[in-house]
Every structure is written in structure tokens, then in C-alpha cells.
DNA sequence: ATGACCTACAACCATGTTGTTGTACGTTAG
DNA sequence: CTAACGTACAACAACATGGTTGTAGGTCAT
């Protein structure tokens, strides 16, 4: 089992890759099942080369990987990266909860003072 | 309670906003406690105007909000947006699990055939 | 072997992003 | 009132992004 730490540059790349509707759609498709680049390209109103670039962005972010099969490049999701970035956002949410807990604690402390 | 649906353009803005280490750091700081733009700016090796722009990107993504207090603009986290984007990534992870469940089911079906 | 298909990659263009500096204006402190 | 502070915004330069077309090479089917 890999510990799996995400550097700041990694997070930059992953969030950047996700910041485009076409790339998110490609990711969803390959999560469902791996597909060749040209099969993916058929779904979008842009050139094959443009889709190829989107896949390259996802690949540099390690959100997908490619595996040659004959003359096709099969694109598959790299679930571990998706998991890591989801956990990173969870950590942000935890920060918020901790802050709220502190505020709640302080307010309760005030209540005690008032009651005394 | 707001239903809270994230359009594709919303997700574009949020992921783009998160795709920069400085902006993620600003977000973390204001999650912990709201701060003025100039207080934030003191932490980074760049001009006040640059930090102002980063805050504007976070604000357009609705990850933070601003509230004037005297001559200062207090920046605070908008937790709801953070929550929504975290849930969006959760949905992607669910897709992966569904796919795995299907594969597992098919394999088990194969096993049954072999056993017969 | 030939043609069709899939991919890779370079060159190019338009636009957007990220930093800078400079100017202007409202607010607070002394 | 004046000086310092906090903010807003415009203009600019450098670079990145997202699309295009064109060329080239590897693989498969006939």
C-alpha cells in the first residue's frame, strides 16, 4: 500500500486538469470503462488533436494513464489520484468543522459566565 | 436550505481557483478565521495587487466572500461551495466503485460457470 | 503491398492568466 | 487637517492555455 502524498505541484496539476468540462467528461467516461483516444474524440466537437491534448493534461496530472493495445492507446482512470484529491478537499472541510467547534466552545464558555 | 447545484461553469471556476498553491493557502487561512486582504497579502512574496487578484479569483468561484469593515475588506470562506465541490469528487469516486462492483459481479458469474 | 486507421508532435494563432507598477479614492489615527 | 493605511482598478509584459492544421510513423485489414 502506497502512503500517497500529494505535493503542491501535484495538486496544481490535478485541479487544473479538472478545471475543464471536456476533461471532466473524459475522466468520467474512462472511469466507467477504458477507451481509446480516438473513441473519446468522437464524442466532442473538436479535432482529434485537441482531445489528445486534453488527455495529455489528465495524464500529466496522473488522473489517467495510457496503455497501448495494437494501434490504439487505451486510456484508463488512475483512481488513486482521484482518491487523494478528494481526501484533500475533505481535509479542508475538516478545518471548517474544527473552526466551528472552537467557536461553539467559546460561545458555551460565554454562556457559563453569563449563568454565573 | 438551498438545494445547491453546481453548473459546469461553476465547477470550472472552482477547480481553477483551487489550481494554485497561493490561493489554496489563502483559502485555508480564511477558513481558520476571516482576514483582511492586506493581512493576507503580508504572508506572500508578491505585491498587494497580486494577492488582491487571487482573492478575486476565489471570490468569482464563490469559495470566499468579502465584507467591508471600516477601511478593511474582511475575507471569509464560503463553506457551501467547498462542500459542493467535495461532494462532486465523491460522486466520481462512486462511479469508480460502481464500475468495480460490476466487474466483480461479472467475475463471480464467470466463477459460477466454471464451477458448474 | 496498399490503403485506412490511430497516434504523435510541431507550428501557429487568439485569448487568458499572473505578475508588475501607477494612480486614485475612502477611512482612520493623531 | 494631514498622513498613513486599505482598497480598487487600469495598463502593461511575459507566459500559459486551448484550439487549429499539417506532417509523419506505426498497425491492421484486405
B89 and A86: CB-CB below 8 Å?
A: yes
A87, burial (CB in 10 Å: exposed 0-12, middle 13-18, buried 19+):
middle
Task: Read off the DSSP letter of residue A65.
Answer: E
Cα B6 to Cα B8: distance, rounded to the nearest angstrom: 7
Of B56, B74, B67, B44, which Cα lies nearest the Cα of B13? B56
Shortest CA distance from B32: residue in chain A: A99
Cβ contacts (< 8 Å) between B92 and chain A: which residues? 27-28, 31, 82, 86
Bases in strand C with any atom closer than 7 Å to a protein CB: 5-11, 17-22, 26-28
Please state, as a whole number, how many other Cβ atoms lie within 10 Å of the Cβ of residue B43: 12
Cα A29 to Cα A72: distance, rounded to the nearest angstrom: 17
B96 and A89: CB-CB below 8 Å?
A: no
Q: Is the pLDDT of residue B5 over 70?
A: yes
Q: Hey, is the C-beta of A111 within 8 angstroms of any chain B C-beta?
A: no
pLDDT band of residue B73 (cuts 50, 70, 90) is very high
Domains and CATH numbers, chain A: 8-115 (1.10.10.10)
| pLDDT score of A111 | 61
pLDDT in tens, A50-83: 999 999 999 999 999 999 999 999 999 999 999 9
Q: CA–C1' distance B72–D2 (Å)?
A: 20
How close B58 gets to chain A, by Cα (Å)?
Answer: 14
Amino acid at each position: 500500500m502506497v502512503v500517497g502524498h500529494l505535493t503542491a505541484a501535484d495538486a496544481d496539476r490535478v485541479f487544473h486538469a479538472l478545471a475543464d468540462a471536456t476533461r471532466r467528461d473524459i475522466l468520467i467516461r474512462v472511469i466507467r470503462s477504458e477507451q481509446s483516444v480516438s473513441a473519446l474524440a468522437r464524442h466532442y466537437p473538436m479535432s482529434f488533436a485537441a482531445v489528445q491534448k486534453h488527455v495529455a493534461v489528465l495524464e500529466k496530472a496522473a488522473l489517467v494513464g495510457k496503455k497501448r493495445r495494437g494501434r490504439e492507446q487505451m486510456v484508463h482512470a488512475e483512481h488513486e489520484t482521484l482518491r487523494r484529491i478528494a481526501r484533500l478537499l475533505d481535509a479542508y472541510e475538516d478545518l471548517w468543522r474544527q473552526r466551528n467547534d472552537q467557536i461553539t466552545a467559546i460561545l458555551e464558555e460565554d454562556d457559563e459566565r453569563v449563568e454565573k
